[in-house]
Amino acid sequence: MLTIVRSGPAAGARAVLVLALVAGAFLFIDARPAVADKTCDLVQLEDGTLDYLCTETRPGGEGSGGSDGDGGSGNTAPPCDLSLISMYEGADEQYCMGQNACWVNNPTVQYPTPDTWPEEPPTEDAVYVYRSCVGPDGVVVSEGYTWYTGPEDEGPSLEELALQALGSLSTPDFSLAHSPPRNSIIYIDTWWWADGPSNGEISSGAALGVVAVGTPSHIEVDPGDGSGVMTCDFVTAESDACSYTYDRAGDYTSRGRLVYDVHFEQNGSPLDIAGLPDSLESGWQESTITVAESQAVVVP
C-alpha cells in the first residue's frame, strides 16, 4: 500500500532519495492515455520498467493483446478515467487508484528540507514523489508528497473507501425519555422521544474525499411489555408523536434506538454504489418505567 508521509528526520531515507533522484533523472515515462480503439493499463514489467499494456477492441467484443511499448499483453480496461488528468502528459506517471485517476512527478521536482525530511521509506524501492488524484467527477481528492512504489498499487476502490467512511460514522449519544417521567397509568398514553440528538444530518470523516452521510429516519421504541418494537417519527423533544398505552400495571424496562438513512458522497457529489448499507442504527438505550392502575373514588 502507498503510505502518506509524516514529517520526521531519517538519515536512511536521505540515501534512498538521492539514489532515486539520480536514477529518476534518466527516466522518462510516456504516460499517454489509451487511444479510442484500445483499453490500456500502466503496469510495471519484470525488468522494473513501466509500460502501457493495451487490448484492441474488435467487433463482437474480441480483443487482441498488444503494447504501446515493448511489454507483454493486457486485457483489462483501466478502472478510472485517465482523460481527467490528460493535461499532465509527459514525464508524469499516470495510473488508477481504484476509480480515482492519479499522476505522479517521479522524481519529484522539489525535495523536503532537512527539518521536514520524511520518515524511513516503507520499502527499499520506494521513491519520494508528489502525487495528485482526482475522483470520477474530476475534483481533486488528495494531493501531496508520499512514498511511491509504483502504479501496481492501485489503492482502495470507491466501495472500500465508502465502507471505510461508514465505519467512522457515529450516531449521537441520547437517552430514551418518556412522559409521565416517573409513573405512567394504564389506559393513558405514554409519550416517548430521544433526548439529546438534533434533527440534523450526521457525517463521517473523509476517506480520500469519500464521506458517509446519515439523515434522520425514525426512532424505534420497545415499551417492554411484550408488545414488540414500534416505529415512530424521529422525535427529539416531548410530544405525542410517539405514544403507547399500557393495559397492565407493572415495572417495565423499555428501550429505544435511532435509525438513519445513509448515502455516500465524494467531494460533495453523490456516489451511487450498489450493495452498500443504506441505513445505520444506534445501540439500544434502556429506561425503566412503572405503570400503575388508576384509583377512582366514588362519591355518592
| DSSP codes joined into one string, 210-221 | EEEEEEEEEEEE
Q: Residue 194: pLDDT above 90?
A: yes
pLDDT at 155: 59
pLDDT tens track for 141-193: 888 887 777 765 555 677 888 888 999 999 999 999 999 988 899 999 999 99
Cα(214)–Cα(261) distance, rounded to whole angstroms? Answer: 5
Sheet of 175-179, strand order: 175-179, 189-195, 243-245
27 or 287: whose pLDDT is higher? 287
What beta strand segments (E) does the chain contain? 38-44, 50-57, 63-67, 92-97, 100-105, 127-134, 140-148, 175-179, 183-185, 189-195, 202-203, 210-222, 230-232, 243-245, 250-266, 269-271, 279-281, 285-292
* pLDDT tens-digit map of 104-144: 877 677 776 767 667 777 777 778 888 888 888 888 888 88
Tally of CB atoms within 10 A around 240: 12
The pLDDT value recorded for residue 16 is 35
